[in-house]
Amino acid sequence: MKLVLSKLKGINNSVIKVLYTGFKICFVLLLISTFILSLYHSIHNFDLFYIGISLFRTTLFYIAFLCICSIGIDTIKKEMR
Protein backbone atom coordinates (compact mmCIF):
# COMPACT_ATOMS: atom_id res chain seq x y z
CA MET A 1 0.00 0.00 0.00
CA LYS A 2 2.87 2.35 0.78
CA LEU A 3 4.35 1.66 -2.65
CA VAL A 4 1.10 2.60 -4.40
CA LEU A 5 0.73 5.78 -2.34
CA SER A 6 4.33 6.81 -3.02
CA LYS A 7 3.80 6.20 -6.76
CA LEU A 8 0.60 8.30 -6.71
CA LYS A 9 2.41 11.18 -4.99
CA GLY A 10 5.08 11.36 -7.69
CA ILE A 11 2.77 11.51 -10.72
CA ASN A 12 3.13 14.17 -13.40
CA ASN A 13 0.71 17.15 -13.25
CA SER A 14 -0.98 16.40 -16.59
CA VAL A 15 -1.76 12.86 -15.46
CA ILE A 16 -2.99 14.18 -12.09
CA LYS A 17 -5.48 16.48 -13.84
CA VAL A 18 -6.96 13.57 -15.76
CA LEU A 19 -7.00 11.44 -12.61
CA TYR A 20 -8.85 14.11 -10.60
CA THR A 21 -11.37 14.61 -13.40
CA GLY A 22 -11.99 10.87 -13.45
CA PHE A 23 -12.40 10.85 -9.67
CA LYS A 24 -14.96 13.65 -9.88
CA ILE A 25 -16.96 11.74 -12.47
CA CYS A 26 -16.77 8.60 -10.34
CA PHE A 27 -17.91 10.51 -7.28
CA VAL A 28 -20.99 11.77 -9.13
CA LEU A 29 -21.76 8.26 -10.37
CA LEU A 30 -21.39 6.90 -6.84
CA LEU A 31 -23.83 9.53 -5.59
CA ILE A 32 -26.30 8.57 -8.31
CA SER A 33 -25.98 4.88 -7.45
CA THR A 34 -26.49 5.66 -3.77
CA PHE A 35 -29.61 7.63 -4.65
CA ILE A 36 -30.92 4.72 -6.73
CA LEU A 37 -30.27 2.33 -3.85
CA SER A 38 -32.09 4.65 -1.45
CA LEU A 39 -35.04 4.65 -3.87
CA TYR A 40 -35.00 0.87 -3.75
CA HIS A 41 -35.16 1.06 0.03
CA SER A 42 -38.40 3.04 -0.15
CA ILE A 43 -40.01 1.48 -3.27
CA HIS A 44 -38.75 -2.16 -3.06
CA ASN A 45 -38.34 -2.65 -6.80
CA PHE A 46 -35.70 -5.27 -7.58
CA ASP A 47 -34.77 -3.58 -10.87
CA LEU A 48 -33.68 -0.49 -8.92
CA PHE A 49 -31.56 -2.67 -6.67
CA TYR A 50 -29.76 -4.33 -9.58
CA ILE A 51 -29.23 -1.02 -11.38
CA GLY A 52 -27.88 0.63 -8.22
CA ILE A 53 -25.56 -2.23 -7.30
CA SER A 54 -24.29 -2.59 -10.89
CA LEU A 55 -23.56 1.13 -11.16
CA PHE A 56 -21.86 1.15 -7.75
CA ARG A 57 -19.69 -1.85 -8.62
CA THR A 58 -18.78 -0.51 -12.05
CA THR A 59 -17.79 2.84 -10.61
CA LEU A 60 -15.54 1.22 -7.99
CA PHE A 61 -13.82 -0.81 -10.71
CA TYR A 62 -13.38 2.37 -12.74
CA ILE A 63 -11.70 4.08 -9.77
CA ALA A 64 -9.24 1.19 -9.47
CA PHE A 65 -8.67 1.30 -13.24
CA LEU A 66 -7.94 5.04 -13.06
CA CYS A 67 -5.33 4.55 -10.32
CA ILE A 68 -3.60 1.69 -12.10
CA CYS A 69 -3.57 3.40 -15.50
CA SER A 70 -2.33 6.70 -14.09
CA ILE A 71 0.62 4.94 -12.45
CA GLY A 72 1.31 3.05 -15.68
CA ILE A 73 1.12 6.12 -17.90
CA ASP A 74 3.34 8.10 -15.55
CA THR A 75 5.92 5.30 -15.51
CA ILE A 76 5.92 5.14 -19.31
CA LYS A 77 6.29 8.92 -19.56
CA LYS A 78 9.24 8.92 -17.14
CA GLU A 79 11.00 6.13 -19.06
CA MET A 80 10.56 7.95 -22.38
CA ARG A 81 12.53 10.99 -21.13
Could you tell me which of 55, 7, 48, 49 has the C-alpha nearest to residue 27? 55
Residues in the chain: 81
pLDDT band for position 3 (cuts 50, 70, 90)? confident
**Distance from C-alpha of 20 to C-alpha of 14, rounded to nearest angstrom:** 10
Q: Which residue has the higher pLDDT, 26 or 6?
A: 26
pLDDT tens per residue across span 9-67: 888 888 999 999 999 999 999 999 999 999 998 998 999 999 999 999 999 999 999 99
Cα-based angle 2, 81, 70 (whole degrees, multiple of 5): 40
**Distance from C-alpha of 81 to C-alpha of 69, rounded to nearest angstrom:** 19
CB 75 within 8 A of CB 11: no
Q: What is the pTM of this model?
A: 0.83
